[in-house]
A and B are shown apart, each in its own frame.
Chain A
Amino acid sequence: MKPRHFQILGHYLILCALAVVCVFPFWWTLVTALSSEGNIFAFPPTFWPRAPSLENFAEVFRAIPMLSFYKNSIFIALCTVFWKLALCSMAAYPLARMQFRGRRLVFGLILATLVLPSEVNFLVNFITVTKLSLVDTYTGVILPNVVTAVAILLLKQAFEEVPQDLIDAARVDGASEWTIFSKIMLPLIAPWLATVGILTAVEAWNEYIWPSIVMSKPDEFPLSVGVLYLRGTFGSSTRVIAAGTVLTILPTLAAFLFTQRFFMRGMDGAVK
């Protein structure tokens, strides 16, 4: 072998070692969920399922209304994606392509939301949602997540890449701003809409603190909240919890693996 081959081999070895550290907790959870016998915390542990079966997964569906949880999560994710794409692209377009008074101020305000600890906004948002009578509604779950600075920044970047000639030509033809936006600009930034859409779907699927505050009826929980409900009902049955965990992350992992390229270029537009 030539020195270059050794170098590549070494490179792969480092990559493999790091990948094992990243992925190991997932593997371990999967092994726990698939095994049907033996102590979970047996010493030494096994790294391969013992007497594999799907019994633990079946138990999850018997113990909690898993199908409703899936349905609720999908509904919340789809609505969040639709409204976020609609409202954030409408906000991003003038910021990217129009000159108007107050533009810098609006842009600064949007950037400011990145700095403040919005993580605990839910403390006051719950008061607001209560006053708007949106407790126990999916509207209440969705509304606060519809407009985010990151989405606006990404889409603004996308609009900035569209050649000015196209807009000028449309204006000469007498097209209204709305026509230019909806008929010309939106189709041109479709790949970016897809990126924001997929990132949003995964985020909405994964969110658990806010939905757990707004929704109080277990049947209406999304999956991320419902899986913790499982922990409540099954104090000790770790294998069933592990199976529920696998069922919870399966859709996001699948979405990620099939649309990896959207994630890989996802944020770079936002930082510029």
Chain B
Amino acid sequence: MKLSRRSLAAWLFLTPALILLAVFSFWPVGYGSYLAFTDYSLIRPTSWVGLDNFRYIFDNDMFVGGLKNSLLFLLMVPFVQIGALSLAVLVNNKLPGIRYFRAAFYVPVVTTVSVVGIMWGFMFHEQGALNYVMMSLQLVHAPIGWLSNDTLALFSIMFVTLWRGLGWYMVMYLAALQAVPADMQEAAILDGANRWQRFWKITVPMLRPTIMVCTILSVLAALKAYQEVDVLTQGGPMNSTFTALYYAYDQGLKHLKLPRALAASFIVSLFCVSIALLCLRYIRPKHR
């Protein structure tokens, strides 16, 4: 195959980026998947162990519980998406000071996760602000252990993830809303459509591609959640807040059991890839 001059130029432009992607994005996936079937460790030669690591993690309550929790995280997706879309509609206007509100909703996104952990640790403390507000409003009579109760803790973490995610998706929806042509709205007003009808008959159909993309990203993010777990509960109490990837992180980094960690992340990859493929099949005809 002879490369034309322009093809050669194109590949030269791409090469540096592709090398780095190959080394730091594809190699970890490929080599990592291979290591998931071995007994790799730094101190002795590696040998193939077949499905042993997978058998081990599926017999392990921390991983199985974690996988269930990761699937439970999917419950958040509708809340994040409907919440973010509502926020975007609320701030999609030119009222005085609206940019300060947009900023307020986006600030959690630009905050590093370690700081998020420290701040919400203060909020969720038994004598913290949240319990005080709840008790003042007579919603509860005794302080609640937001992070120490083994049924509640996971939902507290999910709430923090929601709090961190809303602003990001709001910006996506805001951009899409601003691309909806104003004359369509005006024509609908002339035809006597009310706000509600205009939202459902014009805005939502126009936003369809954005809604689909955001929903997929949100599903993937929910399946892959683990950083919030690390900074809030480290998997406790009684391992009730493990997620599948937190198990991988915990085993790989804290216990140096790399093959197990990689087996766990291999399972998460399978979930992510199959969901992405399903979604792509569903969306594609719309684009072409």
Contact = CB atoms under 8 A, between A and B. Distances in A.
B57 interface: no
Nearest to A263: B106
B14 interface: yes
Contacts of B26: 109, 113
A257 interface: yes
A266 B249 CA distance: 30
A170 interface: no
Interface stretch (B4-12, B74-82, B144-152, B181-189): B4-12
Nearest to A225: B114
Contacts of A174: none
Contacts of B18: 91, 106
B137 interface: no
A208 B95 contact: no
A116 B25 CA distance: 9
Interface in B214-252: 214, 217, 220, 223-224, 226-227, 245, 248-249, 252
Contacts of B24: 121, 125, 128, 143-144, 147
A260 B109 CA distance: 12
A101 B9 CA distance: 12
A266 B171 CA distance: 8
A115 B9 contact: no
A32 interface: yes
A25 interface: yes
A123 B122 contact: no
Given A121-B29, A252-B110, A147 B272 contact: no
Interface size on B, as a range, is 35 or more
Interface in A224-256: 224, 227-228, 231, 238, 241-242, 245, 248-249, 252-253, 255-256
A207 B13 CA distance: 28
Interface in A1-29: 8, 11-12, 14-15, 18-19, 21-26, 28-29
B105 interface: yes
Interface in A142-195: 143-144, 146-147, 152, 177-178, 181
Given A19-B105, A22-B108, A12 B172 contact: no
Given A177-B9, A206-B110, A128 B128 contact: no
Contacts of B213: 271
Interface of A: 8, 11-12, 14-15, 18-19, 21-26, 28-29, 32, 40-45, 47, 87-88, 90-91, 93-95, 98-103, 106, 109-110, 113-125, 128, 143-144, 146-147, 152, 177-178, 181, 202, 205-209, 213, 224, 227-228, 231, 238, 241-242, 245, 248-249, 252-253, 255-257, 260, 263-268, 271
Contacts of B210: 271
Given A25-B119, A116-B29, A45 B248 contact: no
Interface of B: 1, 3-4, 6-7, 9-11, 13-14, 16-18, 20-21, 23-29, 31-32, 35, 87, 90-91, 95, 99, 101-108, 110-115, 118-120, 122-123, 125-129, 132, 136, 163, 166-168, 171-172, 174-176, 209-210, 213-214, 217, 220, 223-224, 226-227, 245, 248-249, 252-253, 258, 261-262, 265, 268-269, 272-273, 276
A94 B112 contact: no
A87 B12 CA distance: 11
Nearest to B108: A22
The 8 closest A-B pairs by CB, nearest first: A268-B175, A91-B17, A206-B112, A94-B10, A124-B28, A41-B127, A121-B28, A100-B7
A119 B111 contact: no
Contact of B107 (A22, A41, A99, A109): A22
Contacts of A178: 9
Contacts of B172: 267-268, 271
Contacts of B31: 124
Nearest to A16: B101
Contacts of A41: 125-128
Contacts of B102: 260, 264
A208 B113 contact: yes
A201 B195 CA distance: 40
Nearest to A24: B129
B20 A143 contact: yes
A87 B126 CA distance: 49
Contacts of A255: 110
Contacts of A12: 95
